[in-house]
Structure 1
Amino acid sequence: MEAVKILVAEDEPFLGKIVKESLELKGFNVLLVQDGLKAYAAFRTWQPTVCVFDIMMPIKDGFSLIEDVRKIDEQMPIIFLTAKSLTNDVVKGFELGCNDYLKKPFSMEELIVRINALLSRSFIKKNNDEQHVFEIGDFIFNSKSQELNKPKGVVKLSFRESVLLKLLVENKNEVLNRKMALELVWGEDNFFNARSMDVFITKLRKYLKEDKRLEIVNIRGIGYKLIINS
């Protein structure tokens, strides 16, 4: 799975560099531009996963930029970074379609948490519009009702069990990247969330063990693979 692509539009060179480098350290693919016009061109050609826009920029400000973006894509997750603190500016940002709003000065930790939260919401919303019933060997899995129909009964899955199983099924016989799964399902890739995901993988293995053709294997240092043997 490809790295999440984040388009950052920030005209302050020092701040822009900090944001870019900090996000890249977290594994994101980052494109930094310095004005709204370049940001719009990059949005059209680069096709980012998330946008982080400053409001006060030369040539085209963040408000004008988001209006143009929303004409093309109503679902793109967008965060505003701005020194503006007046209530009417915050309201205007949300009215124009931003998903979140972060006032300067801000911590990179908070920005990363907010980006991951938007990624999770976007992923879940996207999945609501996609296929949600899957045949897995002898099982029928309904990701919307969070049910795994087994030959010997029905298992009601937790939300995270269901999302994680859906990721594995959609990537069956291929490696599911561990970092990407953690960011999508848990919101952040850290030691404690990684241990939690290991527990959930163990639970899913237990549910699927009735069909000997199914196996969830650990690809050391990379992720997991759901193998469906014929």
Structure 2
Amino acid sequence: MPTILLVEDELSLAFIVQDNLESRGFRVVHAADGQVGLALFRQEQPDLVVADVMMPRLDGFALAEQLRREHATVPIIFLTARGQTADVVRGFELGGSDYVRKPFSIDELVVRIQARLKPSDQPANSPVVVRLGQYEFDYPHQRLHRLGHTQQLTHREAQVLHHLYALRNQVLERRTVLQALWGDDTFFNGRSLDVYITRLRRYLMADEQVQIVNIRGIGYKLML
């Protein structure tokens, strides 16, 4: 039975969400603010986190930032009434897996939870600490090391590089990585992927033997 950590300060909404998720086979633990949510995360080690963005003591973005320091891969779904593009981008930058805008239907939330609980975010047969030319890629801690220098990656940057490494010297289809990490291959998500690829190229540019090349109309290839 998957465990969901629900961090929501609006208690009436939290009760409705918890009751509906439990009726559909999930175990739900609830926290009314981000500080309690962080403590419950450490205690319960949930399979997925659903967190409101605007909360007292520790908001959803700050909570996600702290969770990513402690766990690289647990899915985080934000609940928010804020729909501005800048907020959405910030949420993904901090390691969010998905956004659900209020008001929402329970069916929509359940579908998004189920999609994030599928074992698709972790490419098969890919070690967690690997060599990329002169670099060492530490996926669990989201870091690139080279000659005493450490580049801290965002959660999404680390995920994209992890997928590229899993198919190193082969083509990683653009659609595949978009579906795995964003859940769809819309234009907006595609542009976000382009930004992450550009950043990864910049991080890796000190070693000319390591390249991320475009395969026009298909995807990308990590050349080692």
% identity of equivalent residues? 48
Q: Normalising by structure 1, what TM-score?
A: 0.53
Residue segments in structure 2 that go unaligned for 5+ positions in a row: 128-224
Match of 2:63 among 58, 62, 65: 65
* Counterpart for residue 98 of structure 1: 96
* Cα distance between partner residues in 2 of 1:54 and 1:129: 34
The alignment of Structure 1 onto Structure 2 pairs a total of residues equal to 127
Instruction: State the secondary structure of the residue aligned to 1:88.
Output: helix
* Counterpart for residue 37 of structure 1: 35
Deviations along 1:44-93, one digit per CA (max 9) or x if unpaired, are 11100000000000000001100000001110111000111111111100
Deviations along 1:12-70, one digit per CA (max 9) or x if unpaired, are 01100000000000010000110000000001111000000000000000011000000
Instruction: State the secondary structure of the residue aligned to 1:48.
Output: coil
Matched, 1:80 2:81: no
| 1:152-167 map, 5 Å | none
* Counterpart for residue 173 of structure 2: none
Deviations along 1:193-216, one digit per CA (max 9) or x if unpaired, are xxxxxxxxxxxxxxxxxxxxxxxx
Compared CA separation, residues 125 and 55, structure 1 to 2 (3 A): closer
* Cα distance between partner residues in 1 of 2:5 and 2:120: 21
* Cα distance between partner residues in 2 of 1:49 and 1:23: 14
AA aligned opposite 1:65: L
Deviations along 1:107-140, one digit per CA (max 9) or x if unpaired, are 00000000000111xx234471489xxxxxxxxx
* Cα distance between partner residues in 2 of 1:102 and 1:34: 18
Compared CA separation, residues 126 and 35, structure 1 to 2 (3 A): same
AA aligned opposite 2:107: E
Matched, 1:28 2:38: no
* Cα distance between partner residues in 1 of 2:87 and 2:113: 21
Matched, 1:107 2:105: yes
* Cα distance between partner residues in 2 of 1:88 and 1:52: 20
| 1:95-174 map, 5 Å | 95-120=93-118, 123-126=119-122, 128-129=124-125
Instruction: State the secondary structure of the residue aligned to 1:102.
Output: strand
Q: Normalising by structure 2, what TM-score?
A: 0.55
Higher Rg = 1
Compared CA separation, residues 130 and 96, structure 1 to 2 (3 A): closer
* Cα distance between partner residues in 2 of 1:67 and 1:126: 20
Instruction: State the secondary structure of the residue aligned to 1:113.
Output: helix
* Counterpart for residue 174 of structure 1: none
Give the CA RMSD over aligned residues.
1.5
Residue segments in structure 1 that go unaligned for 5+ positions in a row: 132-230
Instruction: State the secondary structure of the residue aligned to 1:97.
Output: coil
- What stretches of structure 1 move > 4 A for 4+ residues in a row? none
